[in-house]
Amino acid sequence: MSGRVLVGVKRVIDYAVKIRVKPDRTGVVTDGVKHSMNPFCEIAVEEAVKLKEKKLVKEVVAVSCGPQQVQETIRTALAMGADRGIHVEVSGKDYETLGPLQVSKIFAALAKKEQADLIILGKQAIDDDCNQTGQMTAALLDWPQGTFASEVSFEADKLKVVREIDGGLETIKINLPAVVTADLRLNTPRYATLPNIMKAKKKKIANVKPADLGVDVCSRLEVLKVDEPPQRQAGVKVETVEDLVGKLKEAGRV
């Protein structure tokens, strides 16, 4: 057991920003818009750092795929307590079409290269809401997966994961190495403190290209168009029940 954990951190548009669709309807406006670490990835980093503080794992490696700017996201993970970072360089058109399938191939390759025992990812990204990368990564590696985790603990040489599911909570025990995806209630991520941000500047971030890992980032998907949700229509007040039924019939609802 290497005691090494890989944590995926994605750079996304900050959750507080009001999203606007580009006029050509090919995507959303990202230029000049505040970006930050995906909130579920923050939870993933926090969990990995907590495991290291409890001495259950030895090293936390933060990984992000994208252009130069994702280094900021990796630095935040380092400030939260990750030991080193890996920046998988993807830019331009490749970055615009980068999706869960390519990312999970990258993670699978890195997991083998780094001999990781555990991969912790956020359950989904708040920009695409795909909720696929963790599951695909586990499948490619043929590793067990504990998704939507609200609690993670080690029991002997296995991992006990409590999962949030529609019916309540499901507890499973899985072998290591494994993939875990973090759900909202797993933990409350720490803030990156100023002294730790300063210290993190000294931690190393390695650069790697997808081709070096034998991964083809070409996308099999084509986005046709992106639209805003339909504008909410004003309500209508009516005087009598008869009027209400009449309007409902007009709208074909009754």
Options 68, 69, 193, 207; binder of other proteins; rule CB under 8 A: 193
φ, ψ for residue 96, nearest 5 deg: -60, -30
Examine residue 197 and tell whether it contacts other proteins (CB under 8 A).
Answer: yes
Positions in 48-77 near other proteins (CB under 8 A): 72, 76
Options 142, 188, 204, 224; binder of other proteins; rule CB under 8 A: 188
Examine residue 34 and tell whether it contacts other proteins (CB under 8 A).
Answer: yes
DSSP 195-250: HHHHHHTTS-EEEE-GGGGT-----S-------PPPPPPPP---SSHHHHHHHHHH
User: What gap in Å lies between CA 12 and CA 30, rounded to an integer?
Assistant: 9
The smaller minimum CB distance to other proteins, of residues 11 and 105, is found at 11
The smaller minimum CB distance to other proteins, of residues 212 and 228, is found at 228
The smaller minimum CB distance to other proteins, of residues 135 and 187, is found at 187
Stretch that binds other proteins, among 19-27, 123-131, 188-196, 223-231 (CB under 8 A): 188-196
Stretch that binds other proteins, among 58-66, 87-95, 195-203, 243-251 (CB under 8 A): 195-203
Q: Are 176 and 163 spatial neighbours (Cβ–Cβ below 8 Å)?
A: no
Examine residue 204 and tell whether it contacts other proteins (CB under 8 A).
Answer: no
What single letter denotes the amino acid at residue 147? T
**Tokens (6 digits) for 165:** 């599911």
Examine residue 191 and tell whether it contacts other proteins (CB under 8 A).
Answer: yes
Separation of CA 184 from chain center: 12
Examine residue 236 and tell whether it contacts other proteins (CB under 8 A).
Answer: no
Examine residue 180 and tell whether it contacts other proteins (CB under 8 A).
Answer: no
Examine residue 187 and tell whether it contacts other proteins (CB under 8 A).
Answer: yes
Find, among 173, 123, 129, 130, the residue nearest to 148 by Cα: 123
Cα distances from 13 to residues 45, 127, 237, in angstroms, run 18, 7, 39
Contact residues: other proteins, CB under 8 A: 14, 16, 34, 36-37, 72, 76, 79, 187-198
